Structure 1
Amino acid sequence: MATTIRGARAARRVDMVRAWVVLAAAVVQAVAGSLGGSGFFGESQQVLSDRYPSPLMPATIAFSVWTVIYLALLVYAVHQTLPGQPARAVHRATGWWFVATAVFNAGWIVVFSQGYLGTAQVLIVALLVSLVMILRTLARFPAESTVDRVLLHGPMAFYTGWVALATVLGATVTSTYLGAEPGPWVGALVLLVAVAVICGAVFRTVAAVPFAATAAWALFWIAVEAGAVVATVAGLGALAVVAAAALRARQGSRPAFG
């Protein structure tokens, strides 16, 4: 009996440590994101993106979605520290993956601002892989309430949809940095492949609607900013992603929102 009690207490301590590390990680990445845009860590992301142009660069307003993402993740991080939450299996399974995403995100911001675009691309790919692992894990844990959908499944899917396109954009910026300078036709082909992969992901992921929302948002603003060839692919791609999400939503609230 004593052993059982000690084991339960140890498990509670581990859960609380993880929960507070998740909260700290969410705060750190939000602060890093705010400072990174101003050039606090080196050159601003806007300056570097202008120096190494990409045919897939969206209009500046597209990046305002980061504010929504960081706020949603902060609310999630606070929620998972509340009584009864740290010991839930879903938080045990996803918490450390979330910490990894925060480390990769903050690291990407600092490294990109220092002009090490090759390393930054490795970090954003790692960020995307970590987010995919969170969504794969959430597939094993159906949302138990609307709160789960709004504070956990939804924000993680929303975040992943944006990072999926940001990774592709980053790859073309890195190509320019390395001297390849992809033109509009190459950009259009890369974007076409990306849209196909994202549409496929919409049909497989949980919380498909928030995932598709940020992907479509990115595609829309690429269409607004890009030349005719890329704009056509991006515009049609946004419509395809929205259509895929609508079809997925017809399968029920879990596929649609987690």
Structure 2
Amino acid sequence: MASTTARAGRTAGPATGMDTARTWAVLAAAVLQAVAGSLGGSGTFGESQRVLSDRYPSLVTPATVAFSVWGLIYLALLVYAVYQSLPGQRSRPVHRATGWLFVATAALNAGWIVVFSQELLGTAQLLIVALLVTLAVVLHRLAAFPAEGVADRALLHGPLAFYTGWVPLATVAGFSVTLTYWGAPLGPVTAAALLGAGVLAAGVATRRTTATLPYAATAAWALVWIAVESATTGTVPVTVVAAIGVVAVVVAAALRAREGLRAAFG
């Protein structure tokens, strides 16, 4: 059964018109969100994300350096978009199952950037939750198509898992910022409890998702910088939960990686 699924993931005959449309849509979406991310960070659409985060401080916002990971995420997704556009890739069922959903994630991400920059934080939170749900569906579908060698692992499973690993913790941090915006900032204990829910979700996903190591890399990155920032401000409960989260994600990734290449890299 596994070999049959793998062969089905490799080819499905000549590319159709819908395959071509999807291929170009994925390429355009990857470029769109990379450009939106660059412009949004500079404040082109209104206030930059950093300015608004400082205006509405949260106890679970990571240190500023953590957000540099977006450059790597966008680059990885551009590489993925080019890979799925190659002639031998366009008709593969794996891309048919995930391509349009990726377009939706890019639209949600770009929309979040614009809406957040306009200081519409409640709407922005809805968009990032929708992004998280859509990415979860992408990874669920991707798991049905084992990687066909190094190229699939590095250019398909890896980039999508690397992207998804960041989003759960970004959702938690965004919710905390939104609560401050609504006039209900979290105290240290409630902030730690909220982060704990994010850590639990990240740990479970790390243990179960395809391409565990790329997923765990960005999840652990976010938690490390939440721990650093909270330690700097003396928010001990958040620091402790974030540190435990780093250990939990790393251990979950190591256990999953012991199951072989498919578990580790798709």
* TM-score, length-scaled by structure 2: 0.92
1:212 equivalent in alignment to 2:210: no
- 1:78 corresponds to: 82
Hey, what's the Cα distance between the residues in 2 that align with 1:198 and 1:254?
A: 19
> Aligned to 2:225, what secondary structure does the other structure show?
helix
> Aligned to 1:251, what secondary structure does the other structure show?
coil
- 1:139 corresponds to: 143
Hey, what's the Cα distance between the residues in 1 that align with 2:14 and 2:82?
A: 22
> Aligned to 2:85, what secondary structure does the other structure show?
coil
Unaligned residue ranges in structure 2 (runs of 5+): 1-11
Contact 2:168 2:201 in 1 (8 A): no
- Cα deviation, residue 194, structure 1: 1.4
The 5 A counterparts of 1:143-182 are 143-182=147-186
- Cα deviation, residue 224, structure 1: 0.5
- Cα deviation, residue 228, structure 1: 1.9
Hey, what's the Cα distance between the residues in 1 that align with 2:14 and 2:118?
A: 42
> Aligned to 1:179, what secondary structure does the other structure show?
coil
- 1:185 corresponds to: 189
**CA-atom RMSD, angstroms?**
1.3
- Cα deviation, residue 200, structure 1: 1.2
> Aligned to 1:203, what secondary structure does the other structure show?
helix
Alignment CA distance shift 1:10-1:55 (3 Å): same
- Cα deviation, residue 90, structure 1: 0.5
Query: Which sits farther off after the overlay, 32-41 or 184-193?
Result: 184-193
Hey, what's the Cα distance between the residues in 1 that align with 2:15 and 2:227?
A: 50
> Aligned to 2:202, what secondary structure does the other structure show?
helix
- Cα deviation, residue 63, structure 1: 0.3
Contact 2:115 2:123 in 1 (8 A): yes
Runs of 4+ more than 6 Å apart: none
Hey, what's the Cα distance between the residues in 2 that align with 1:214 and 1:9?
A: 36
> Aligned to 2:208, what secondary structure does the other structure show?
coil
Deviations 1:96-121 (A, max 9, x none): 00000000000000000000000000
- Cα deviation, residue 10, structure 1: 9.5
Contact 2:14 2:91 in 1 (8 A): no
Structure 1 counterpart of 2:254, from 233, 246, 253: 246
Hey, what's the Cα distance between the residues in 2 that align with 1:119 and 1:169?
A: 15
- Cα deviation, residue 11, structure 1: 5.5
Hey, what's the Cα distance between the residues in 2 that align with 1:40 and 1:71?
A: 21
- Cα deviation, residue 12, structure 1: 1.7
| Corresponding pairs, count | 251
Contact 2:15 2:90 in 1 (8 A): no
Q: Which residue type is aligned with residue 149 of structure 1?
A: R
Contact 2:33 2:109 in 1 (8 A): yes
1:221 equivalent in alignment to 2:225: yes
- Calculate percent identity across the aligned residue pairs: 67
- Cα deviation, residue 140, structure 1: 0.5
Unaligned residue ranges in structure 1 (runs of 5+): 1-7
* TM-score, length-scaled by structure 1: 0.95
